[in-house]
Amino acid sequence: MEARPHGFRSSFGNWCSEAANVPWEVAEACLAHRTGGKVERSYKRTDFLEQRRELMQRWADYVERVC
């Protein structure tokens, strides 16, 4: 199977929403998206590092299975 990079981020986002059952904020942090407004971000300073680490391993396992 030949790899195509286009849409890979979108595929990850869809997988998170439909199959992974993870909080939206964690999925967005994996994609390096800023969420919330300036005030909300000033109070919510977590980087979800451990949750992101686990989620990215689950994603890697999934991609290896389907590709």
Going from the first residue of the chain to its last (67 residues), give the mean pLDDT of each consecutive group of 10, the final group possibly shorter: 72 93 92 82 85 96 91
pLDDT at residue 32, as a whole number: 83
Answer for the pair 39, 62: CB distance below 8 angstroms, yes or no: no
Among residues 63, 58, 57, the alpha carbon closest in space to that of 20 is found at 58
Q: Judging by beta carbons within 10 Å of its beta carbon (0-12, 13-18, 19+), is residue 16 exposed, middle or buried?
A: buried
Return the pLDDT at 7.
82
Contact 1, 29 (CB under 8 A): no
pLDDT of residue 65: 93
